[in-house]
Chain A
Amino acid sequence: GEDVEQSLFLSVREGDSSVINCTYTDSSSTYLYWYKQEPGAGLQLLTYIFSNMDMKQDQRLTVLLNKKDKHLSLRIADTQTGDSAIYFCAERYQAGTALIFGKGTTLSVSS
């Protein structure tokens, strides 16, 4: 079956690290994504990871993948108020197919 689950809300202080978690059920998913959505805007692609990788780092973002547990996480280092948004985890079976999204995690950053 296809299902992507995320915790709904996360609150952190500016300068702290944020960790957003996601679980997915389809072990055949080969690509996993993180998107960011700010109020009234579309989805911005942050990063993605292939299922044969364990970790990917891109500036302040670190993605960890535990394929055995079907668990994906996004760590944002030195979180800023501009990082406040909804973060969506998404999976995809293969290139060319549509993305399957979770319900999103609202990240609130206080100064």
Chain B
Amino acid sequence: EAGVAQSPRYKIIEKRQSVAFWCNPISGHATLYWYQQILGQGPKLLIQFQNNGVVDDSQLPKDRFSAERLKGVDSTLKIQPAKLEDSAVYLCASSFGQSSYEQYFGPGTRLTVT
């Protein structure tokens, strides 16, 4: 079974530029999460989807971050414009459903904002 796929793996941009990350969850997984992991910290939730609907985006900085999962499968997270403090690893995770105990993570996208 293929795991959670993310691309790109690494991205370097200048502040005020925009960037997009892509995630393809494990096949059949209805719930998808985006987490932000700043160096030396644990991951923190940005947004959670159930199929193509948003379940929780309370910690998403909506003035600059957006995310979508239009067909309920893969998802895109965008930052526009980026700030220096957005430098982090962006992790995508998925689970079979909202009642699932297990959550599986992708390899992450490391973003550096200069």
CB of A90 within 8 A of CB of B106, answer no
Complex Cα spacing A2 to B22, Å: 29
**Is there a chain B Cβ closer than 8 Å to A1's Cβ?**
no
**Is there a chain A Cβ closer than 8 Å to B72's Cβ?**
no
Knowing A4-B42, A98-B45, A98-B48 are in contact, say whether A48-B33 is a contact too (CB < 8 A).
Answer: no
Residues of B near any A CB (own CB < 8 A): 4, 31, 33, 35, 40-45, 48, 50, 55-56, 91, 93, 97-108
Complex Cα spacing A104 to B43, Å: 10
Q: Which of B31, B50, B97, B107 contacts A42 (CB 8 A)?
A: B107
CB of B102 within 8 A of CB of A48, answer yes
**Is there a chain B Cβ closer than 8 Å to A96's Cβ?**
yes
Closest beta carbon of chain B to A65's beta carbon, Å: 15
**Count of CB-CB pairs between chains A and B under 8 Å:** 56
Inter-chain contacts of B41 with A (CB < 8 A): 103-104
Q: Which of A42, A95, A102, A104 contacts B100 (CB 8 A)?
A: A95
CB of A96 within 8 A of CB of B99, answer yes
Complex Cα spacing A97 to B95, Å: 11
CB of A43 within 8 A of CB of B31, answer no
Complex Cα spacing A90 to B103, Å: 11
Inter-chain contacts of B102 with A (CB < 8 A): 45, 48
Q: Which of A40, A41, A95 contacts B101 (CB 8 A)?
A: A95
Inter-chain contacts of B33 with A (CB < 8 A): 98
CB of B42 within 8 A of CB of A88, answer yes
CB of A98 within 8 A of CB of B108, answer no
CB of B42 within 8 A of CB of A102, answer yes
Inter-chain contacts of A4 with B (CB < 8 A): 42
